Every structure is written in C-alpha cells, then in structure tokens.
A and B are shown apart, each in its own frame.
Chain A
Amino acid sequence: MFGLIGHSTSFEDAKRKASMLGFDHIADGDLDVWCTAPPQLVENVEVKSATGISIEGSYIDSCFVPEMLSRFKTARRKVLNAMELAQKKGISITALGGFTSIIFENFNLLQHKQIRNTSLEWERFTTGNTHTAWVICKQLEINAPRIGIDLKKATVAVIGATGDIGSAVCRWLINKTGISELLMVARQQEPLALLQKELDGGTITSLDEALPQADIVVWVASMPKTIEIDTDNLKKPCLMIDGGYPKNLDEKFQGENIYVLKGGIVEFFNDIGWNMMELAEMQNPQREMFACFAEAMILEFEKCHTNFSWGRNNISLEKMEFIGAASLKHGFSAIGLDKQPKVLTV
C-alpha cells in the first residue's frame, strides 16, 4: 500500500471540497472547527503500472490549510495526526505532499515520534523530494531547447539553491547537463558557500542580479510576499520553472517570450480513476499529480519500502537516477510546456 498525505490550497477551497465529499460537519465549520478536525482517509485507489503491476493506495487529507501556518502547534498536529493515520492503516510508504513535508522539516517534527499509542516509523514516509528534483531537471532539459534555449550556452539560476530540492537540482545541473553557467540564490549565505564548495562550481549571487542574466530560472523557494519583478529586465526567451509550493509564479511572470512551467508535476500514462487530484487542482486530474506523490507510488511499485527522501541534503545523483529510471519504467513523465497553451502565446 502507498499513501499520499495532502491538503487543500486554501480554507475556502477546503470547505468547498468537504461539502462535495459529504463532510458537512467540517464544511460548515469555521477555521477553529478545522483546527480540531481529524485527518480523513478520503479515497482508496488501485493503480496499474506500465509494466502491468498493480498496487493499492490511499489519499489522506490532513485537514491542514495554509491559513494554519501561523498556528504552529495546530500545523504540527495536523501533519503528525495524518502520519499516524497512515501508519495505523498499515500503509508501507506515504508521501508528504504540499506544505506537510515543509512543516515536518521546519517545525522539527522528528522529535515527535510518539503519537498517542503509535510510535511513528519514519521508514514508512518520504518527502518525495528526490523524484521532484529529478522531474524538475528533466523539465528543464526537455523544454528549454523547445523554446530556443541551447543548454550548452544557457545560464540557469536556481532560487532556493540550498533547500533539499534546490541543492539536488544544482548537483544535477552541474554534473549532468553541461549548462554554461549556474547561478545560486538563497537567503542564507553559509549553506550557499558550503554547496558551492561541494559542487566545485556555480556562482553565488542575489535574486536581483541573477534574474536579468538567466535564460532559465528554477524556483524552489516560496516566493517572498513583497517581491516585485520587472519582466522587461528578463532575457527573452526565458523559461521559468515553478518548483515551489504553492505554484503561483504564472501570476508574476506574464509576458511575451516568458514561459512558465509548473515544476515537479508528472503525468501518468493512463487514467487512474481517482478523485483525489481534482482536489489538488491538477489540469488533467486523472493523470497528473505532484512528483512527490508519484514517488510513493514508484517506491511501492518497486517494493522499495524505505524513507527514500528524508532529511535535508541527502539527495544524491544515484538516488535521482534510480527514481528517474523507475519513474519512466512505470509510466510517469514530466509535464511539459504544451500542457499550458495559454503561456505559449509568443
């Protein structure tokens, strides 16, 4: 069994979905009611790989909504309770989707192993970041040439370079793609210097300096609230890969010859027959999903029951290659620009 832990993108959205699912007791409730709502196992599903193997899985809604981010105790409980439910249901490998892995990491949930009468077994969970990082790199490699960017001559900026996904993307770009130049941007300078040393490459710079130089920008940090970007200063063409969460870059970067691609989203080769990705607001909800969710499915297909992506800066090239090969084998592919015709208006 694989599991996916997710949440709604906003409180209003969550209420609408709860009403759709018949969870009237929380659909009608205010944010306080949601703060006391237990996680819900919303759906069970069977998925058949391109190789013919079938697996079963469950989608668990943590009942977390982004409006709870300022209430750290609530946010912490939502994630831990959803994880406990996944484990109690006997799920072997569960991906932490959306904000839940960020909360796990930033609120230091590793110290909360005991949840009621359940001792959480970390090996049952994955952040899915290895697959997400691999998918973002593939999206970059495949889509840049399609809009006339030659990778060998391209300058790539990674915003959020020191994060788990960001550092993995930098590692891959330096070692596997032959790009011309890598610009690394992050808030904290010390880890940036360490990363540069590890990679033996890449240039540390600021966001303002990086953007006008970059042919390709990979965003794997949450956007600062106040950021103002002058699209006139961007290179044309420019490929923006929105690998952060939530995906809201396309609102900031509309313009001629600026291509915004939703990063870290994969498409399955077949219709899955579930409702859960409609909840995640995918464009083609029967096939598309977050790459982190797909990682749990891939690990289940591979009978690889381990916390494959865990902690920070543990994503090696070998792990990315492993998950990438398995991803393709079982029928996943990274979504490309043609999935978003509206930004193709050049």
Chain B
Amino acid sequence: MSTWSPYDMNGGTCVAVAGADYCIVAADTRLSTGFSILTREHTKVVTLSDACVLASAGFEGDRKQLHKVLGMRQQVFAHNHGGKPMSCPAMAQMLSNTLYFKRFFPYYTFNLLGGLDKSGKGAVYTYDAIGSYERTGYACQGSGQALIMPVLDNQLKSASPLLYPPVSSATPLTEAQAVDLVKDCFATAGERDIYTGDAVEIVVINRNGVRRETMPLKLD
C-alpha cells in the first residue's frame, strides 16, 4: 500500500448514434474494479433534458460528480431562461468547459453526449477526458471502444468524416435499425471485453421525447 491513487478504472462502454430525426445513447450497466464486478445494474447514463443525454465510462467517482454538476447547471440555466432547457450544442460546449476546467486534475471520464440540435437533427458529441470534443454522426467510448468502433464504421453507412467538402455523418438508418445495431454492438463487445456486460441501457431521443429501454447481456 505504498502508493495511493485518486483514480480507479471502473470500466463500461458507451455508444451514441445520430439519425436524421433521432439520437440513440447507450451504455452498459456493469461497474467493475480490477477483476471484480462491483454491481451489475448501475446506470452510466443521465438524462439532462428533453434534448440532451450524457453517458460516461471511466472512474465512477468522477462520473457521479460530473453528472451532478451538469445536472445542476442545466437546472440553473432553465431557471434563468424561463424554464427553457439548454440546447444540445450549448450543453456540448459547457461539458467541454467543465472538463477543461479540471485540465490538471482531470475527470477520468470518457463522455458521449447525444441529443437533437435546434433543427431537430440527431447530434452526437464525443470527448476526451480533458475537454476536446467534436460533433460526429456516431461514436463509441470506454472499455469496449476498440471492439465496437470498427463495427459502427462498417455498418452505419454514414459518410466518411474525411470527405471534403464535409458531409453529415449521421446515419441513414431508421431508428429501429439503428437500435438493433447498437444492441448487436453491445452483445459483441460483451463477448470479449470483461468490463462490458450484464445489461445495456438504450436511451432514444426523438421528437416525442426521451425513451429508455434495457436489454440483458451475458453476466460472465
């Protein structure tokens, strides 16, 4: 016990997919440390508003703090703006600022923010732990990232982010097709990644609001 670390890696995988009029944010519900599973039903996803959902993997202590801070700021914003919640792009910028504010003692979290932009199109924002971020059409973060990302690249039929002039990389898939793909991704990652499993929580944001469903994964 000669060293002490303020960090732990509690695992977890997040996936987000944007479509023309919907956005999917999903994360598994396993919480691990080392080779131990701490609990099998622990949400990593927070619904910040009707247009904004955040999922984070990494260190659970920081994740809890970050989600609380953003939740509070969102609430204060709404109070100051006649009850109107923060837009998804605004929340995206604020999340970046929040992460960067702790540049030299970072939140050890890997975040995906999903929602609808002002025109009602799906939006996905992907971050690193210290706040650099980018809007994309789909993204994956956490312990299963390397397993899932190539599948998304291959299956979503999205335009390449390398194209110039840029083309939206939102997927042309329908909502139902995209949800199916996300489920397949988690089932696949759960086979090989010990930090992904137990269940996947899928949050779908569309013009009707926010819907949440869960699908069991393997417990091993």
Chains A and B bind each other: no
Which B residues are within 8 Å of any A CB, using their own CB?
A: none
Which A residues are within 8 Å of any B CB, using their own CB?
A: none
